[in-house]
């Protein structure tokens, strides 16, 4: 019975293995039809992939597992004493640093490149709790094994997050930091919905050459694909054709969880070493999943803004922006990448003796400055006091002058206002006086006219009386003539009687004329007194009127 059971198990294993092989063969045939060069299956630890430099291994025991960490150690051709540590991204291995490591070695730098656990030629554990702290600690063990005490760290993509954590954990070990289009410049948890490791794993199992190329072409290279990009895509896509790919996909899901749950963007302010940011401006890379809404995707991975914000957060940092370049400047636009990198590396590369000498010189200069300051301080204080006093005096004078000017201005304005008011009042008085004078003149004229009218009326009455008296006198004369016809004796007696009567009548007429003239003179005097109150302009008119009245008399 046992033998039969073993046969059954063997048949099941063979059938499943053959089914997986058939699936792999189908993938290979479909890819070879779409590519000019056929895609070859890549083993789980890249045993069939040739690296540009000799590969070494560091034995590690992590979470009760014996694992191996692959690395390359490239010596400098003309050593300058500095070591550069290169850290790769999530979809890459340390081999893609080939050209960068070659040029750095020529420039005098020793270069160390490690494949982190779960990537490249390093072990792919079946189960492991990934964290950036764990990967940083593994890297520190590697440097300790190589007796390296100081490094310049350069990290790309996910390697930028690891380089940041390594710098924060070991600040005494890191001399400088370079970040090339690092992911994690933003907290993906704020906009990307949570996805479990199992969901991530299912997504990774569906990866194909076409999907991977479409993702890289869109996010890394701005829809401009070049044949030299196939070298690094074929390694990643070739692992999907491996029978051991489920284990590779599981590790990919675990590291995605690490990136999502362990942001470093809140700790950039704590970086104390000189830092260079090299940012391709066309990059739109971000950690997204199927649950991420389109509007959130459009906001993520804006490296044009993220680079500037990160440069402001890191105290001693420089930002190099490379236009029209995507996620991999050292692959897509190598000359634009290597030039700022070398200038940054060479800017502060000095030996220990030079540093000690510079420190001594700076200390001497500082002490000299302090002594000069001590000597200069009292003089400067006195000068400052004099200056302050002069300034206060000048300010006081200026203020007084301004006050006097303002007072004069106010006085002038007040005087002007008063003058205006007085002018208005005088004008009003003059106008009122003129009106009164006119009214008085009109009244005087009216009075004169009334007086003239009354005088004329009186003159008429007097004239009538005079005429009546004259008529009586004439009547008496007529009677006397008639009486003359009587006898002469009577005439003599009557003549004697008539003469005194005539004399009486004549006297009466004369007296009447004299009295009338006297009255006229009295009235003229009264009239003259009234006319004297009228203005000089009216005197001529009144005099003419007086003359007319006198003529009428």
CA distance readout (Å), 537 to 187, 450, 531, 534, 547 = 106, 20, 11, 8, 17
Rounded to an integer, the average pLDDT of 215-220 is 93
- Per the model's pLDDT, the better-predicted residue between 347 and 382 turns out to be 347
Q: Is the pLDDT of residue 517 over 90?
A: no
**Per-residue DSSP letters for 357-376?**
HHHHHHHHHHHHHHHHHHHH
CA distance readout (Å), 155 to 152, 161, 166, 167 = 10, 7, 10, 11
> Each residue of 21-32: pLDDT tens digit?
445 444 444 444
CA separation for the pair 486, 80 (Å, rounded): 189
Rounded to an integer, the average pLDDT of 35-55 is 88
Say what percent of the chain tops pLDDT 90: 53
Rounded to an integer, the average pLDDT of 30-35 is 44
Per-residue pLDDT band at 289 (split at 50, 70, 90): confident
For the ranges 189-198, 295-304, 396-405, the lowest mean pLDDT is seen at 396-405
Rounded to an integer, the average pLDDT of 356-376 is 76
For the ranges 90-104, 150-164, 413-427, the lowest mean pLDDT is seen at 413-427
Nearest to 74 by CA among 90, 92, 86, 63: 86
Which DSSP symbol is given to 240?
Answer: T
What is the pLDDT, as a whole number, of residue 352?
A: 47
CA separation for the pair 60, 74 (Å, rounded): 22
Q: Is the pLDDT of residue 234 over 50?
A: yes
Q: Cβ contacts of residue 140 below 8 Å, gap of 6+?
A: 166, 169, 170, 173
Please check whether residue 42 is in contact with residue 239, taking contact to mean a CB–CB distance below 8 angstroms. yes
What is the pLDDT, as a whole number, of residue 38?
A: 74
Percent of the chain as helix, strand, coil, to the nearest 5: 65, 10, 25
What is the pLDDT, as a whole number, of residue 464?
A: 67
- Per the model's pLDDT, the better-predicted residue between 19 and 52 turns out to be 52
Per-residue pLDDT band at 434 (split at 50, 70, 90): low
For the ranges 242-256, 356-370, 463-477, 493-507, the lowest mean pLDDT is seen at 493-507
What is the pLDDT, as a whole number, of residue 391?
A: 76
Q: Is the pLDDT of residue 272 over 90?
A: yes
Q: Is the pLDDT of residue 16 over 50?
A: no
Rounded to an integer, the average pLDDT of 272-282 is 97
Q: Is the pLDDT of residue 87 over 60?
A: yes
Q: Cβ contacts of residue 194 below 8 Å, gap of 6+?
A: 260, 291
What is the pLDDT, as a whole number, of residue 484?
A: 53
- Per the model's pLDDT, the better-predicted residue between 355 and 187 turns out to be 187
On average, the pLDDT of the chain sits at 80
What is the pLDDT, as a whole number, of residue 130?
A: 97
- Per the model's pLDDT, the better-predicted residue between 240 and 547 turns out to be 240
CA separation for the pair 392, 395 (Å, rounded): 5
What is the pLDDT, as a whole number, of residue 150?
A: 97
Rounded to an integer, the average pLDDT of 421-449 is 64
Per-residue pLDDT band at 167 (split at 50, 70, 90): very high
Phi, psi of 274 (to 5 degrees): -60, 135
Per-residue pLDDT band at 52 (split at 50, 70, 90): very high
Q: How many CB atoms lie within 10 A of CB 200?
A: 20
What is the pLDDT, as a whole number, of residue 409?
A: 72
* Tokens matching residue 343: 């200038």
- Per the model's pLDDT, the better-predicted residue between 139 and 381 turns out to be 139
Q: Cβ contacts of residue 380 below 8 Å, gap of 6+?
A: none
What is the pLDDT, as a whole number, of residue 361?
A: 84
- Label residue 246 exposed, middle or buried (CB < 10 Å: 0-12, 13-18, 19+): middle
Rounded to an integer, the average pLDDT of 199-205 is 95
Q: How many CB atoms lie within 10 A of CB 258?
A: 19
What is the pLDDT, as a whole number, of residue 436?
A: 65
The secondary element (H helix, E strand) that includes residue 200 is: helix 197-205
What is the pLDDT, as a whole number, of residue 347?
A: 85
Q: Is the pLDDT of residue 75 over 80?
A: yes
> Each residue of 129-153: pLDDT tens digit?
999 999 999 999 999 999 999 999 9
Q: What is the CATH number of domain 42-347?
A: 3.40.50.1820
Q: Is the pLDDT of residue 471 over 50?
A: yes
> SS3 of 241, please?
coil
Which residue ranges make up each domain of the chain? 1-34, 42-347, 355-552
CA distance readout (Å), 199 to 132, 204, 210, 253 = 22, 9, 21, 8
What is the pLDDT, as a whole number, of residue 337?
A: 98
CA separation for the pair 351, 531 (Å, rounded): 126
Q: Is the pLDDT of residue 516 over 90?
A: no
């Amino acid at each position: 019975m046992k033998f039969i059971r073993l046969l059954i198990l063997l048949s099941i294993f063979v059938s499943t293995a053959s089914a997986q092989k058939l699936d792999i063969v189908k993938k290979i045939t479909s890819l070879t039809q779409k590519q000019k060069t056929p895609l070859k299956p890549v083993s789980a630890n890249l045993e069939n992939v040739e690296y540009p430099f000799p590969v070494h291994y560091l034995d590690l025991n992590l979470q009760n597992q014996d694992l191996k960490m692959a690395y390359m150690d490239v010596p400098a051709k003309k050593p300058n004493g500095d070591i550069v540590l290169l850290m790769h991204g999530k979809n890459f291995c340390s081999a893609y640093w080939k050209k960068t490591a070659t040029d750095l070695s020529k420039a005098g730098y020793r270069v160390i490149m490690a494949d982190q656990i779960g990537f490249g030629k390093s072990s792919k554990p079946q189960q492991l709790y990934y964290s950036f702290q764990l990967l940083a600690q593994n890297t520190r063990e590697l440097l300790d094994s190589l007796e390296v005490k100081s490094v310049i760290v350069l990290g790309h993509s996910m390697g930028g997050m690891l380089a940041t954590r390594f710098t924060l954990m070991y600040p005494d070990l890191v001399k400088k930091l370079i970040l090339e289009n690092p992911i994690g410049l933003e907290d993906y948890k704020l906009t990307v919905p949570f996805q479990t490791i199992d969901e991530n794993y299912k997504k990774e199992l569906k990866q194909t050459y076409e999907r991977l190329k479409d993702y890289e072409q869109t996010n890394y290279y701005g829809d401009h694909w070049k044949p030299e990009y196939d070298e690094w895509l074929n390694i990643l896509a070739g692992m999907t054709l491996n029978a051991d790919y489920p284990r590779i996909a599981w590790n990919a899901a675990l590291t995605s969880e690490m990136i999502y749950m362990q942001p470093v963007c809140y700790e950039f302010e704590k970086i104390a070493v000189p830092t260079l940011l090299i940012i391709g401006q066309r990059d739109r890379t971000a950690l997204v999943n199927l649950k991420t809404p389109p509007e959130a995707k459009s906001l993520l991975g804006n490296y044009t803004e993220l680079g500037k914000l990160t440069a402001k957060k890191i105290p001693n940092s420089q930002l190099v922006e490379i236009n029209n370049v995507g996620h991999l400047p050292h692959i897509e636009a190598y000359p634009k990448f290597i030039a700022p990198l070398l200038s940054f590396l060479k800017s502060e590369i000095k030996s220990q003796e030079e540093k000690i000498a510079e420190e001594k010189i700076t200390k001497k200069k500082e002490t000299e400055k302090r002594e000069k300051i001590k000597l200069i301080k009292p003089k400067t204080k006195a000068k400052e006091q004099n200056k302050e006093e002069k300034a206060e005096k000048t300010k006081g004078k200026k203020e007084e002058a301004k006050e006097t000017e303002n007072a004069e201005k106010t006085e002038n304005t007040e005087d002007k206002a008063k003058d205006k008011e007085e002018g208005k009042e005088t004008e009003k008085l003059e106008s009122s006086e003129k009106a009164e004078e006119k009214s008085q003149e009109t009244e005087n004229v009216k009075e004169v006219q009334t007086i003239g009218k009354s005088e004329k009326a009186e003159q008429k009455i007097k004239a009538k009386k005079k005429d009546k008296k004259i008529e009586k006198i004439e009547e008496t004369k007529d009677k006397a003539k008639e009486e003359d016809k009587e006898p002469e004796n009577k005439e003599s007696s009557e003549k004697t009687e008539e003469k005194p009567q005539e004399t009486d009548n004549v006297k009466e007429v004369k007296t009447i004329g004299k009295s009338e003239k006297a009255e006229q003179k009295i009235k003229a005097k009264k009239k003259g007194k009234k006319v004297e109150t009228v203005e000089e302009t009216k005197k001529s008119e009144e005099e003419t009127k007086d003359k007319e009245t006198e003529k009428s008399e």
